[in-house]
């Protein structure tokens, strides 16, 4: 279980960064940059350095934490910093952090001087089970998530559960939503296992299973022409709710909290549009409602949510496209849904979230 060969690169599990030592000592790179945010430079960088025998042979580039900083201004700042530090095409960038760091760092690396090598060390559960695989890089523009980006694979990915030790429970739950999704779209027995377990004590084996599921999907369809869209289950509505919350709520939803809401809503749509049964929907809804804090999607936000969904990348010819469950463990993509059904699904979630679970 210590590595997984993905298209063109290797995902290393629980190796104490040993293979990274070899890479750093190979002399292949002219300079090493570590890119981190204010949190990971404080909590994860020392762990990273310790695993590498107190490694200091790098320049640190730091960004502010938070999705709102995954923007073009920070991106320009990092490009210029690399230039100021004399970064040539043979340098290596190590992205140490959550999805914001690996998305933004990956985009910067994939475009600086038309592309330098980068390695991702995801330090949150969310980024370990999600952003670690598939080569998506990106930044947000005008609050449109990942409006600009590339498909570029890191040279390697290192997944170390050691980094999760410092993670607040809410952050663990955020990543856990993607693991539930992996079970729902591709592996019923994995979903059932997750239900039995405890999201506070995630085992490395479960992370491996999630990464494996995602890897199988993206290997078959790296550029999201078809199958890969199933990974967006819960995300069409989830992203819209997340964006709205980021702009309007004092304490915004995490990605996983928003995706959890999205999975309930899109589970509802799966019943109206596909073959998901009412019992299965109830099972999913109950599990999510008891695992995640409840939230009310404001009625007055509905029209704006629809607008956000309109700019979703999966859409074609102006129609909002969904990925919906056929059953627990199987997912379809390119599903059309009437606007009225979308609104009904938001109301469905609100009704459940209001009543005590």
Query: Closest CB to a copy of itself among 53 and 316?
Result: 316
Residues 119-178 that bind a copy of itself (CB under 8 A): 136-138, 141-142, 144, 146-151
Six-digit token pair at 95?
A: 């992205």
Determine if 311 is a binding residue for a copy of itself (CB under 8 A): yes
Q: Could you give the count of Cα atoms lying within 13 Å of 267 in the half-sphere of its Cβ?
A: 28
Determine if 317 is a binding residue for a copy of itself (CB under 8 A): yes
Q: Which of the following is catalytic: 232, 257, 266, 314?
A: 232
Of 164, 184, 162, the C-alpha closest to 173 is 164
Determine if 306 is a binding residue for a copy of itself (CB under 8 A): no
Other Cβ atoms less than 10 A from the Cβ of 64: the count is 11
Determine if 86 is a binding residue for a copy of itself (CB under 8 A): yes
Determine if 106 is a binding residue for a copy of itself (CB under 8 A): no
Question: CA gyration radius for the chain?
Answer: 20
Distance of closest approach, residue 28 Cβ to a copy of itself, in angstroms: 11
Q: Which of 13, 112, 163, 308 binds a copy of itself (CB under 8 A)?
A: 112
Residues 25-54 that bind a copy of itself (CB under 8 A): 30
Distance (Å, whole) CA 339 – CA 50:
53
Q: Which of 43, 79, 295, 302 binds a copy of itself (CB under 8 A)?
A: 79
* DSSP 8-state secondary structure symbol assigned to residue 129: I
Of 271, 273, 261, the C-alpha closest to 305 is 261
CA 257 to chain centre: 12
Could you confirm whether 114 is annotated as catalytic? yes
Q: Which whole-number Å values give the CA distances from 77 to 31, 63, 104, 152, in the listed order?
A: 19, 9, 11, 21
Six-digit token pair at 179?
A: 């693991």
Q: Which of the following is catalytic: 215, 239, 242, 314?
A: 239
Q: Annotated catalytic sites, by residue? A: 114, 136, 178, 214, 224, 228, 232, 235, 239, 255
Q: Interface residues with a copy of itself (CB under 8 A)?
A: 30, 72, 76, 79-80, 83, 86, 88-90, 110-115, 136-138, 141-142, 144, 146-151, 223-224, 310-311, 313-318
């Amino acid at each position: 279980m210590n590595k997984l060969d993905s298209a063109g690169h290797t995902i290393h599990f629980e190796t104490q960064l040993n293979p990274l030592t070899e890479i750093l000592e190979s002399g292949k790179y002219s300079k090493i940059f570590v890119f981190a945010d204010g949190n990971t430079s404080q909590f994860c960088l020392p762990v990273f350095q310790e695993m590498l025998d107190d490694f200091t042979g790098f320049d640190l580039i730091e960004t502010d934490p938070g999705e709102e900083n995954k923007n073009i201004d920070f991106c320009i700042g990092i490009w210029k910093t690399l230039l100021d530090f004399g970064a040539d095409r043979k340098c290596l960038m190590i992205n140490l952090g959550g999805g914001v760091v690996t998305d933004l760092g990956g985009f910067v690396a994939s475009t600086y001087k038309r592309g330098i090598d980068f390695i991702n060390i995801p330090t949150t559960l969310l980024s370990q089970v999600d952003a670690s695989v598939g080569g998506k890089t990106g930044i947000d523009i005008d609050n449109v998530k990942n409006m600009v980006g590339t498909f570029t694979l890191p040279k390697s990915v290192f997944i170390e559960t050691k980094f999760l030790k410092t993670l607040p429970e809410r952050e663990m739950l955020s990543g856990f939503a993607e693991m539930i999704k992996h079970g729902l779209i591709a592996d019923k027995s994995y979903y059932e296992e997750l239900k039995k377990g405890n999201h506070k004590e995630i085992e490395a084996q479960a992370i491996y299973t999630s990464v494996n599921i995602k890897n199988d999907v993206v290997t078959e369809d790296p550029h999201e022409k078809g199958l890969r869209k199933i990974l967006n289950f819960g995300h069409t509505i989830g992203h819209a709710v997340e964006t709205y919350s980021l702009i309007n709520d004092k304490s915004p939803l995490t990605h996983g909290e928003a995706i959890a809401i999205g999975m309930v809503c899109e589970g509802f749509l799966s019943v109206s549009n596909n073959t998901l049964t009412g019992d299965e929907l109830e099972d999913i809804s109950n599990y999510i409602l008891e695992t995640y804090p409840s939230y009310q999607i404001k009625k007055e936000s509905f029209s704006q949510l629809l607008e956000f969904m309109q700019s979703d990348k999966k859409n074609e010819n102006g129609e909002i496209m969904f990925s919906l469950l056929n059953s627990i463990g199987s997912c379809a993509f390119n599903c059309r849904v009437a606007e009225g059904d979308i609104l009904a699904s938001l109301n469905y979630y609100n009704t459940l979230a209001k009543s005590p679970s």
